[in-house]
Chain A
Amino acid sequence: SQQGEEDPQALSIQEGENATMNCSYKTSINNLQWYRQNSGRGLVHLILIRSNEREKHSGRLRVTLDTSKKSSSLLITASRAADTASYFCAIMDTGRRALTFGSGTRLQVQP
């Protein structure tokens, strides 16, 4: 399977703390994307990082990419209760045009 692996599978933190999620993959990629999904809802695109980029920021989000280790991390700073959701990494590998999703991290932010 080309599906990426994410850890932790579940994460519970207090409001105001930072949350870090990690994603590992196996193939060569064009880009890696992070998505958020509220329970029973569709996906919301958070951020895209290209294979030649190492770090990217968007508001309270910080994404890193290490292509030598085939891994990425998503950091959410100063978390809020509204950040409670599942977060998925997804890779666009060099041979396909579809996204392959990781296993996801369920984040619970306690108010």
Chain B
Amino acid sequence: GAVVSQHPSRVICKSGTSVKIECRSLDFQATTMFWYRQFPKKSLMLMATSNEGSKATYEQGVEKDKFLINHASLTLSTLTVTSAHPEDSSFYICSARAGGGAGTGELFFGEGSRLTVL
């Protein structure tokens, strides 16, 4: 099946630094990628929709200047957590959909990236 790779799987950083998380579709082209955030023992909350070659669409309450998303190619989207603080510590998961169109089918998920901000 389709594979989505996230890197790094774990990252620990100091407060005030910026952290970049990569999401790659390894065997298909993903015109759309989605970034989710998950707190411990909670559900996944959609943060933003990333479209190749255009600006990301952010969900209500998500700071676009805080969580920078870039989808520069059909196989790579990046999430940069800028000036990270302890409350940004979370599990970030990306997902990707192959091709375009209505996109009502299955999404493929990365393994997630656990961010810990000290």
A69 within 8 Å of B (CB atoms): no
Total contacts A-B at CB 8 Å? 55
Q: Given the known A-B contacts A40-B114, A42-B93, are A31 and B104 also in contact in the complex, defined by CB atoms under 8 Å? A: yes
Contacts of A98 in B (CB 8 A): 34, 46, 49
A97 and B101 CA atoms in complex are apart in Å by 10
B67 within 8 Å of A (CB atoms): no
Specify the main secondary structure of chain B where it touches its partner: strand
Q: Is the CB of A45 within 8 A of B106?
A: yes
A42 interface neighbour in B42, B106, B109, Cβ under 8 Å: B109
Contacts of A11 in B (CB 8 A): none
B43 interface neighbour in A3, A31, A45, A48, Cβ under 8 Å: A3
Interface residues of A (CB under 8 A from B): 3, 30-31, 33, 35, 40-45, 48, 88, 92, 97-104, 106
Interface residues of B (CB under 8 A from A): 6, 32, 34, 36, 41-46, 49, 91, 93, 95, 97, 102-112, 114
Given A42-B93, A43-B95, A88-B43, 15 extra CB contacts under 8 A: A3-B45, A30-B104, A31-B104, A40-B114, A42-B6, A42-B110, A42-B112, A43-B44, A45-B109, A97-B32, A98-B46, A99-B46, A101-B43, A103-B42, A104-B42
